[in-house]
Amino acid sequence: MEVSTGPSPKYTVPPAPVTTQDLQASTTDASEDLTPSKTVPPAPVMKEHSDYQTTPSPAAGRDLYDASCRGDLETVKRILAAGHVDINYREGDYNRTPVMMAAYYGQGDMVEFLVNRGADVSLVDSDGDNVLHFACGRGHLETAKLILDLNVVDVNARNNIGKTAADLARHWGYLQVLDLRVSRGAH
């Protein structure tokens, strides 16, 4: 029988502590000599819903997003270690993820860290841009190299208006990024 405490039915009260004397008394004759009483600790409090701890926190998602934009690796590590955050949290009108924003701002170390921690680079924002679009469209050569070296995105993926990352690099005049992309099989 579970006894509910407080206003939330998610937690149950553990049974009262049981002593070894109580256990022996239930299985032995009253005339037998019993050993001294020892207390057995109560069972831990269990939650009825196991998904309680996995519910992502929007505030933690925003903090992760902001720290990824800034390239603040220590803060990102701390947020992810604390849990309660979706590494693919979406923010803003364009539904961008932390790894997208790290690529947008040329934060190559952050991109690599987030990808290694499970960030989904197949996701696109509301314009259809992926992490490679962001790195190339902003002229971040080293970040683009890193993304290509990780081999985690389609180099010829097109956004909602049919542009590849190479098209964006060409449009904005980032010729070194364009040359890199072409050397890696981009159209």
Looking at residue 177, its pLDDT comes to 87
The Cα–Cα gap between 146 and 165 comes to: 14
Q: Which among 174, 179, 125, 117 is positioned nearest to 148, based on CA atoms? A: 179
Q: Which among 152, 180, 147, 153 is positioned nearest to 166, based on CA atoms? A: 180
- pLDDT value at 20 more than 80: no
pLDDT class of 57 with cuts at 50, 70, 90 = confident
- pLDDT value at 29 more than 80: no
- pLDDT value at 28 more than 70: no
Looking at residue 186, its pLDDT comes to 64
157 within 8 A of 132, measured Cβ to Cβ: yes
Helix (H) or strand (E) run with residue 136 in it: helix 131-137
pLDDT class of 178 with cuts at 50, 70, 90 = confident
Looking at residue 74, its pLDDT comes to 97
The Cα–Cα gap between 126 and 146 comes to: 24
